[in-house]
Amino acid sequence: MPAADPQRAIEAVWRIESARLIAGLARLVRDVGLAEDLAQEALVAALEQWPESGVPDNPGAWLMATGRHRAIDRIRRAEVHERKTHELGRELELRGEAESRDLEAEIDDPFDDDLLRLIFTTCHPVLSTDGRVALTLRLLGGLTTREIASAYLVSESTVAQRIVRAKRTLTAAEVPFEVPEREELEDRLASVLEVIYLIFNEGYAATAGDAWTRPELVEEALRLGRVLAELLPEEAEVHGLVALMELQASRIRARTGPRGERILLLDQDRSRWDWLLVGRGLVALERAKRSGGALGPYSLQAAIAACHARARVAADTDWEAIVALYDALAQLMASPVVELNRAVAVGMAFGPQAALELVEPLRSEPALGEYHLLPLVRGDLLEKLGRRDEARAEFQRAASLTQNSGERAALLERMAACSPRNGA
């Protein structure tokens, strides 16, 4: 086999297997940072050996066995005196091929407890938000530091520092490599869902740069969400998050025009929506509803997205149902952003004046002081009411606040359209 073929095969295998490999090694050595180092050593061994020997029939099992042997070697060489460490080394060596679970079966199972432990570890609340996102993308997504930096438009050194700090924090805090007990699961799961949705949102609506979206982050968040849904099939909010992401992602192709301009939801050509993703999202939402309990925040947002998805043309949207869903969402997670979104729905259901009355008090909310969507929504409502001078000022303010160059250009166009020479 030509050398180039194993190289491509190794890259593909790493992207598929790295999360489970690191998870399995972390269970053995009880240290996420060390587990990643061992996994990288196994990858180097593959790069050295597979071009000559060929890709093994079960490359994941090969990488796991290699990583295990490297772990045993490290422990043997380490100058440590704690009995716990010596016991761990003996335990690893004695286990060998006689582990309680067959190694190849373990590697072939994409939804195992080790992977769930790794998800809860990389998303642990002890880490900063940036640290959780970077570590999750690195260890669970298999993304390189360069890929993460490119997706978030920051330097590689910044991402590398976040990852290093996150690993050190986990070690210093002695975070156990385990799935939380039932009484702790809800709080810890909230952190996991938050991280996955943060990754999705950065992909769906990029906060900076020239592109509206970053598809690689959307795909990664969808993959993580789907994996988590299989790992925790009884958790309604996991299915709610998956539903929300599937339904929102279904619109991506329709969100930009031929010149790269942004197309708002109500103006989109819905024939360009990905109806396979819509179907998957509706199924996930039904799984959330079947839990029997009240819908959580992600499930309610998914239900709102489903109202849009069920309307094949924008005019058929059930805006009163959406307002009711926002009312329920506001009771669960009251926030200025939820109130702003609710105001938009009220405007569509009951007119711009009713919506503007809800928006006005939000102007004094400190949390929305630099939020560009507040002046954008207010400007849109003012424009509909014929108050074009005020609308123009709002669009100008929104343009000054956004960090996305494409959105800035669109807002400046709206501002120009409200100028006196363009008036009726």
Per-residue pLDDT tens digits for 276-287: 999 999 999 999
Contact 356, 384 (CB under 8 A): no
Is the torsion defined by CA of 409, 413, 415, 419 positive or negative? positive
pLDDT for 259 = 75
pLDDT for 104 = 45
Mean pLDDT of 316-322: 97
Distances (CA, A) of 192 to 65, 163, 180, 251, 372: 29, 17, 12, 24, 27
pLDDT in tens, 77-96: 665 545 555 566 656 666 55
pLDDT for 196 = 94
pLDDT in tens, 248-281: 999 999 998 887 777 889 999 999 999 999 999 9
Convert 356-380 into a string of H (helix), E (strand) and C (coil): HHHHHHHHHCHHHCCCCHHHHHHHH
pLDDT for 107 = 42
Of these ranges, 115-119, 141-145, 359-363, the one predicted with the greatest mean pLDDT is: 359-363
pLDDT for 225 = 94
Among 241, 131, 125, residue whose Cα is nearest residue 187: 125
2 band by pLDDT with thresholds 50, 70 and 90: very low
Is CATH 1.20.1050.10 what the domain over 111-202 is classified as, yes or no? no
| pTM of the entire predicted model | 0.79
Buried b or exposed e, range 138-148, using 16+ CB within 10 angstroms: bbbbbbebebb
Is the torsion defined by CA of 321, 312, 353, 410 positive or negative? positive
Among 381, 370, 307, 371, residue whose Cα is nearest residue 344: 381
